[in-house]
Amino acid sequence: MKKNKKLLIRILVAFAVFLVGIVLYKLTPLKSFGEVAEKWSFGDYRFYLFILPFLAAYLIVGYDVILKAGRNLLSGRLLDENFLMVVATFGAIALLDLPEACGVMLFYQVGELFQRYAVGKSRRSIAALMDIRPDIARVLRDGKEVVISPEEVEIGDVLILRAGERVPVDSVVLEGKGSFDTSSLTGESLPRDVRAGEEVLSGSINIWGEVKLRACKKYDDSTVRKILDLVQNAAAKKAKAENFITKFARYYTPVVVIAALLIGVIPPIFLKDWGGWIKKALTFLVVSCPCALVISVPLSFFGGIGGASKRGILVKGGGALERLAKANVFVFDKTGTITKGSFSVVDVFPAERAKEILTAAAIAEGASNHPIARSVVEFAPAVERDGYEVEEIAGRGVKAVKKGGVILVGNAAFLKEQGIPFEEAQNPFTTLYVAENGAYLGRVMVSDVPKENAAEVIRGLKAEGCRTIMLTGDREATAKAVAAEVGVDECVADLLPQDKAAWVETLLSKETKDGAVCFVGDGINDAPVLAMADVGVSMGGIGSDAAIEASDVVLMQDDLASIKEGRRIAKKTMRIVRENVVVALGIKVGVMLLTALGLMGAFAMWLAVFADVGVAMLAIINAMRTLR
């Protein structure tokens, strides 16, 4: 920040010299500065005595602006801020209104300084939010601890992580216990206790304890790198509002400059008072600077994206944020999004034989990795499985055989094929039928249950006037049961992955321009739908690259509430963007009107400077609210 300090010193020195000039001038009995020239001619030393302090102050504070303006003149860029300021102040000098020229330049530079300071500060606070990059990795090499950069870590390296350090690459805990703060990744504020065998994500911080880790991924493939890439490239995808404002600024400045020329030339032909009208024209030139407008919009979006990422919501650009704010149709995938994506046993029938049924089922399913099988084993009491030969029959079930015993567990079709008489159940759950030694024992009903807050989130969205739809590949009965439980407006079942894409496409073609369709999925198998929707939201963190590529918003936490939170941030950001545009334009237009009508009085040019840099400052401060 050396440059800012230099400017500050120049401003202070120039201000002191400026005050000297004012004091000298006040010692005279003159009513206006113009009389200085009338009273003393160019040959008189007293004329220079009054002029010099102002000229000196003007040059001290504004020489760099003049230099830049000169260079712009040479390259034909006449609508640059520096050039406009120089023309305006030179004009005031030519009218021999030196205190005004000097004061305006001073005020302009003070504004620039504040603006730079504010931008720098907001840049740092946004950057701090995204500061999840690990700096070092401690690796055990030949039994010795070596400090290397995270990029140099190889898969399989043993890492040491002390309290307060960041995990350099995605790893598994080998030994030790620790408590990990993942808030900068997921927004989850509660630390997570981690022990041997568990995975830890790069970028999370070990709060206490020392752990040994084994690196599972290279730095470039690790979570932290993917998040950084995503957030840093976010600004590349600009919002419509951003493009609009840069385009608007391109026309705004020339139009105001032309207006200034007209005001400086046409009215004085009829009304005389050349000096007065030229001064009004110069004021217009100061107001024509576009910076306040141009800076306010992207900074707001950037702040919104930063604020969202702090809460574990990664938004890919202003455009995505803009569409999320507009979204009024929310389409959810069922499994893994509305529901937990893991099965649990909801019922065993008949209940009085539950223990017997579950024991048999657990013996048969014990070796399987299928999610349904795992849920049964977890629910059942611990069983002795030795001696059983297990055979899996795809799409049917399992058969476990031991000398003197056969257990069959599977769907209705399976038991029918095996010729076992049983009663088929009528319910929305996935049902496993269990038979032992040729006799039907009973059935186990498993279901994928909705997430705890699913109903609450859906209710919240509906309360805000959004339409909610659930898509699933499951059977109608299963889907209906979940839909009723969480309260979505519509539910479409029996869809293949490609059907989902087609369904969303039809929905998109029917939607009006004012709204947007948001698709929320877990990123597994639904990348095409994520890409197609106006806003594709993938849940549950940095999963597959395809899902990240295809989605506009990635939720680091597997929590539906993040959608509402993301929508709230998006709406707030858009509100701030609108406020900034309206206020900046309003003040500028207001100053122009007042100037043209001659209502601004002696402070016209000063107020015009405020309309430029002051408004930029206001916009920056307002934009920073997006971070909160």
Partner 1 sequence: MKRVYELTDLCCAACAAEIERDINKVSGVASCNVNFIMQKMTVEYEEGANYGSVLKAVTKTVRRVEPDCDVVEVK
Interface residues with partner 1 (CB under 8 A) are: 3, 68, 71, 75, 77, 80-81, 112, 116, 119, 122-123, 126-127, 232-233, 235-236, 246, 249, 289-291, 294-295, 298-299, 302
Nearer to partner 1, 430 or 580 (CB): 580
Nearer to partner 1, 4 or 368 (CB): 4
Q: Which long-range contacts (C-beta less than 8 Å, at least 24 apart) are formed by 256-261?
A: 256/284, 256/285, 256/287, 256/288, 256/592, 257/79, 257/84, 257/284, 257/285, 257/288, 259/284, 259/592, 260/284, 260/285, 260/288
Question: Exposed, middle or buried: residue 307 (CB in 10 Å: 0-12, 13-18, 19+)?
Answer: buried
Active site residue 559: no
- DSSP per residue over 554-574, as a string? EESSS-THHHHHHHHHHHHHH
Nearer to partner 1, 80 or 100 (CB): 80
Local structure of 378: helix, strand or coil: helix
Contact 453, 559 (CB under 8 A): yes
Type of residue found at 432: L
Nearer to partner 1, 82 or 595 (CB): 82
Backbone Cα Rg of the chain: 35
Contact 447, 429 (CB under 8 A): yes
Q: How far is the CB of 625 from partner 1 (least distance, A)?
A: 15
Q: What is the largest CA-CA distance in the chain?
A: 127
Separation in Å, CA 285 to CA 66, 263, 295, 430: 15, 11, 19, 74
Q: How far is the CB of 254 from partner 1 (least distance, A)?
A: 13
Instruction: Scan for tokens 């948001």, then name that residue.
Output: 518
- Strand locations in 52-191, DSSP E? 137-141, 144-148, 158-161, 171-175, 178-181
Nearer to partner 1, 230 or 555 (CB): 230
Contact 278, 267 (CB under 8 A): no
d(CA 88, CA 179): 62
Terminal CA-to-CA distance of the chain, rounded, Å?
26
**DSSP state for residue 450 in the 8-state scheme:** E
Backbone torsions φ then ψ of 489, nearest 5 degrees = -65, -45
d(CA 566, CA 310): 11
Nearer to partner 1, 74 or 439 (CB): 74
Residues 6+ apart with CB under 8 A from 268: 274, 276, 277, 278
Choosing from 80, 97, 170, 333, which is the catalytic residue?
A: 333
Q: How far is the CB of 280 from partner 1 (least distance, A)?
A: 24
Nearer to partner 1, 68 or 575 (CB): 68
Nearer to partner 1, 202 or 296 (CB): 296
Q: How far is the CB of 52 from partner 1 (least distance, A)?
A: 29
Nearer to partner 1, 81 or 100 (CB): 81
Provide the total of helices (H) and of strands (E) in the chain, helices listed first: 22, 22
Q: How far is the CB of 209 from partner 1 (least distance, A)?
A: 34
Nearer to partner 1, 232 or 498 (CB): 232
Q: Report angle CA 386, 392, 393 to the nearest 5 degrees.
A: 150
> In what helix (H) or strand (E) does residue 86 lie, and over which residues does it extend?
helix 81-94
Q: How far is the CB of 540 from partner 1 (least distance, A)?
A: 28
Q: How far is the CB of 287 from partner 1 (least distance, A)?
A: 14
Q: How far is the CB of 247 from partner 1 (least distance, A)?
A: 9
Q: How far is the CB of 242 from partner 1 (least distance, A)?
A: 9
Q: How far is the CB of 233 from partner 1 (least distance, A)?
A: 8
Instruction: Scan for tokens 């709204």, then name that residue.
Output: 515
> Residue by residue, what is the 3-state secondary structure of 237-260?
CCCHHHHHHHHHHHHHHHHHHHHH
Backbone torsions φ then ψ of 179, nearest 5 degrees = -120, 125
Residues 6+ apart with CB under 8 A from 387: 402, 403
Query: Which residues are known to be catalytic?
Result: 333
